[in-house]
Structure 1
């Protein structure tokens, strides 16, 4: 019995759709993924170490990336790039919420816990499991500093600053309005600023951009494809390290407890030295006063003897 032509076309369309949905793909913006499935023009994959599905058309969250790196190191999955050296980068196994963002409270698997900002950076002293972390304080300003190797000719400052903003915007899909680049040979300073009101649901977060940038600079890129290049009129600027500072909407809540024993010892020594100096000064003045009184007394006695 011959099937109706419409039924045949419908069956073929369904087969084509199934083939499209089930075809594999590569997550160009996050190589720390598995089980990638193509659905139309979108590639969706599972982040390593979690059951969270990520959209490969944009950047993954820093929390999921850190969790995937811990999983990779513990299982030996997806070995490190050639010639790479160990760099912990403050990595720990984080707790992520359903959206892949950091939970306010993080623990190390024992009874030690602490509070973090939206970048997953500790902003309180470490405490027990009863520590209270009321909210995830947003990191709205990230300052990055890197020093490049020497160039044979002078760098055109305005051109380089403009090219850095353009490259970061294209590579990490961040609006250029959130990027400021300043060049002071041989340093490059990059500022990322993004208030909560400036970020829509579809915008990438500056926290994730900073993490991707750090990995690119250190030669452990998370993006499949061409490497990050910071070109100038004098050639490509080369650097393998970057210093990152996180500025939150609220000040951190550290106390003296977060200082290591060496720093505390130095502070104690300085305080003792100041106290000792004060005591020496006091005793010296007292002795000087006694000496002056004795001298006056002796002079009076000498005058009386001469007059007698």
Structure 2
């Protein structure tokens, strides 16, 4: 009788464990009753998840960086190597997130160099020091029709920001500036050669016409 009771308890425990999982995040750890899931985003930092929704990108990047530092498995996108799973023009970085998972307006990647990001976490300004001032991140885009919030399935999101980037030329490397100068000079030289060639062709045609008239 005791064996049957033990088997029943074990089967119930296995069933409860199978139900206590996070479908939207394979790295999450779930336990307890009711089921609670959390994600490690730093040393000793556990982020509680709502597994009925997509995991915010900022939390996902934090988890990616944490796992990379610990030598744990990370993920790739589109067949790219794992280390390029989350990149922009500056490469992967460890973001600072708000409590709701949005990116903080200023990111420093645990260094003294900071920059401003848009709502997708992509740099939109020149880099500066820790005194850099950034506007607060905007509320995420929420589409509605007739005042009703739309629900989507199988979403493919392209992150955009309504504010134009504010990059300047001052932080471009010398090599890039040299390439730009060479290209501009080549275009100008080509235009000058074309103009002189047309003028020379015009003079030749006029001289040929005068010779024909004299004959």
Which TM-score bucket, shorter chain as reference?
Answer: 0.5 to 0.7
Quickly say closer, same or farther: Cα 1:199–1:132, change in 2 above 3 A.
farther
User: Which of 32, 37, 54 is the equivalent residue of 2:31?
Assistant: 37
Measured in 2, the distance between the counterparts of 1:27 and 1:139 equals 23
User: Which of 164, 181, 193 is the equivalent residue of 1:251?
Assistant: 164
Equivalent positions of 1:53-72 (< 5 A) are: 53-72=48-67
Measured in 2, the distance between the counterparts of 1:84 and 1:277 equals 40
Q: Does 2:87 correspond to 1:86?
A: no
Quickly say closer, same or farther: Cα 1:271–1:55, change in 2 above 3 A.
same
Measured in 1, the distance between the counterparts of 2:178 and 2:147 equals 45
Whether the aligned pair in 2 keeps the contact of 1:119 and 1:139 (CA below 8 Å) is no
Task: Give the structure, 1 or 2, with the largest relative contact order (CA under 8 Å, sep 6 or more).
Answer: 1
Gaps of 5+ in 2: 1-11, 197-215
Measured in 2, the distance between the counterparts of 1:92 and 1:53 equals 22
Q: Does 2:182 correspond to 1:269?
A: yes
The alignment's TM-score, normalised by the length of structure 2, stands at 0.61
Measured in 2, the distance between the counterparts of 1:133 and 1:139 equals 17
SS at match of 2:126: coil
Equivalent positions of 1:280-291 (< 5 A) are: none
Alpha-carbon offset, residue 106 of structure 1:
0.5
Measured in 2, the distance between the counterparts of 1:129 and 1:198 equals 41
Alpha-carbon offset, residue 92 of structure 1:
1.4
RMSD between aligned alpha carbons?
Answer: 4.0
The alignment's TM-score, normalised by the length of structure 1, stands at 0.45
Quickly say closer, same or farther: Cα 1:108–1:81, change in 2 above 3 A.
closer
Aligned length: 169
Alpha-carbon offset, residue 263 of structure 1:
3.3
Gaps of 5+ in 1: 1-18, 141-192, 212-244, 285-308
Q: Does 2:116 correspond to 1:115?
A: yes
Alpha-carbon offset, residue 113 of structure 1:
0.7
